[in-house]
């Protein structure tokens, strides 16, 4: 039996709550590559700024897998981060930066996929920069995503027919809020990975968070596959989607722990293997 299941079973039998410390005792088998300077290369994770934003403070992170070659076409994982200034009693934290993204590396283990962590954009003191909480400039965020995906495919061998959009928390909501903002950007994606929270399930403090607007975005999804996971239960998202009457190609996975984090993708969990299998199937 996997270690995390033993911890969970012990907690249930004792009648005690399932705490983050139980989950954190699961051995981590992946470590993120360090962020380095210089041009992109196989096995390197580097900061980049897409052409057109050179005079701003906007940037993203690009990782080319260890098996990357200039003349090969590879699927692409685009990732959005959660909100910054987040912490809870389980010691889960998020600073809202592109540097905090983990999903793409956990899915790929550093092979077979180009992985880019992209920002949402805000303006402060007249200068555009990465937004660590929500998104101030939806149009700029959309344009940066569009341009960066096009650049990854033209310069680094990304396959435009196999681009997946992934996100955690704010980023999960952003998979629809930005990724399905309009028909222009919606057509980029082969599928979506949404972990913790989902567009339309609850009200959030920004324009367009209402359910009518969320349904308009949801209608742009069509039959494309979507992975939806959440700590402990996906019931709220399932109920919301059922209430819309829209039929979708959804895979729901409830995590066996309460942690609001993506750090689970760095550990040998059956849920991670399930996600990897799902992604491989989508990218065939």
Which helix (H) or strand (E) segment holds residue 280: the answer is helix 270-282
Q: What is the dihedral of CA 78, 82, 84, 90, to 10 degrees?
A: -130
The predicted pLDDT at position 18 comes to 42
Q: Is the pLDDT of residue 5 over 60?
A: no
Give yes or no for a contact between 194 and 228, defined as CB atoms under 8 angstroms apart.
yes
Q: What is the mean pLDDT of residues 56-72?
A: 96
Which helix (H) or strand (E) segment holds residue 218: the answer is helix 211-218
CA 178 → CA 17, 39, 102, 174, 186, distances in Å?
A: 36, 28, 19, 5, 9
Dihedrals phi, psi of 108, to nearest 5 degrees:
-95, -20
Which helix (H) or strand (E) segment holds residue 270: the answer is helix 270-282
Helix, strand, or coil here: 236?
Answer: helix
Which of 1-5, 203-207, 220-224 is the least confident region?
1-5
Percent of the chain with pLDDT strictly greater than 70: 92
CA 116 → CA 5, 26, 160, distances in Å?
A: 32, 27, 14
Q: Calculate ∠ Cα 83-159-134, nearest 5°.
A: 15
The predicted pLDDT at position 26 comes to 82
* Rounded Cα–Cα distance for residues 217 and 177 (Å): 7
* 252-270 per-position pLDDT tens digit: 999 999 999 999 999 999 9
What is the value of pTM for the model shown?
A: 0.92
For the domain bounded by 31-282, which CATH number is listed? 3.40.50.1820
Rounded to 10 deg, the angle between the 211-218 and 170-177 helix axes is 70
The predicted pLDDT at position 283 comes to 97
Q: CB neighbours (10 Å) of residue 219? A: 12
Mean pLDDT of the chain: 92
- Reported confidence tier of residue 21, pLDDT bands at 50, 70, 90: very low
Q: Is the pLDDT of residue 210 over 50?
A: yes
Contacts for 108 with CB less than 8 Å, ≥ 6 apart = 65, 77, 115
Question: Residue 234's closest CA among 200, 268, 195, 260?
Answer: 195
End-to-end CA distance of the chain: 31
Which helix (H) or strand (E) segment holds residue 275: the answer is helix 270-282
* 79-129 per-position pLDDT tens digit: 999 999 999 998 899 999 999 999 999 999 999 999 999 999 999 989 999
The predicted pLDDT at position 23 comes to 61
Q: Is the pLDDT of residue 228 over 50?
A: yes
- Reported confidence tier of residue 22, pLDDT bands at 50, 70, 90: low
What single DSSP character describes residue 76?
E
Q: How many CA atoms lie within 13 A of 60 on its CB side?
A: 27
């Amino acid at each position: 039996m996997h270690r995390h299941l033993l911890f969970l079973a012990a907690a249930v039998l004792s009648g005690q709550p399932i705490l983050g410390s139980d989950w954190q005792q699961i051995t981590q088998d992946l470590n993120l590559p360090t962020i380095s300077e210089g041009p992109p290369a196989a096995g390197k994770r580097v900061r980049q700024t897409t052409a057109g934003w050179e005079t701003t403070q906007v940037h993203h992170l690009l990782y080319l897998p260890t098996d990357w070659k200039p003349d090969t076409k590879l699927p692409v994982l685009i990732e959005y981060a959660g909100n910054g200034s987040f912490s809870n009693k389980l010691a889960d934290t998020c600073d809202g930066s592109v540097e905090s993204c983990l999903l793409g590396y956990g899915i790929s283990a550093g092979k077979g996929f180009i992985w880019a962590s992209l920002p949402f954009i805000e303006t402060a003191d007249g200068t555009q920069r990465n937004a660590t909480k929500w998104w101030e400039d939806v149009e700029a965020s959309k344009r940066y995503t569009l341009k960066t995906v096009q650049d990854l495919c033209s310069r680094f061998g990304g396959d435009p027919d196999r681009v997946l959009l992934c996100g955690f928390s704010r980023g999960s909501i952003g998979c629809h809020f930005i990724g399905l903002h309009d028909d222009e950007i919606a057509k980029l994606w082969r599928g979506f990975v949404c972990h913790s929270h989902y567009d339309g399930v609850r009200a959030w403090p920004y324009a367009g968070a209402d359910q009518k607007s969320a349904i308009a975005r949801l209608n742009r999804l069509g039959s494309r596959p979507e992975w939806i996971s959440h700590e402990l239960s996906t019931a709220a998202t399932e109920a919301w989607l059922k209430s819309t009457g829209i039929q979708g190609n959804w895979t729901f996975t409830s995590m066996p722990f309460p942690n609001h984090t993506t750090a689970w993708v760095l550990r040998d969990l059956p849920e991670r293997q399930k996600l990897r299998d799902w992604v491989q199937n989508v990218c065939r």
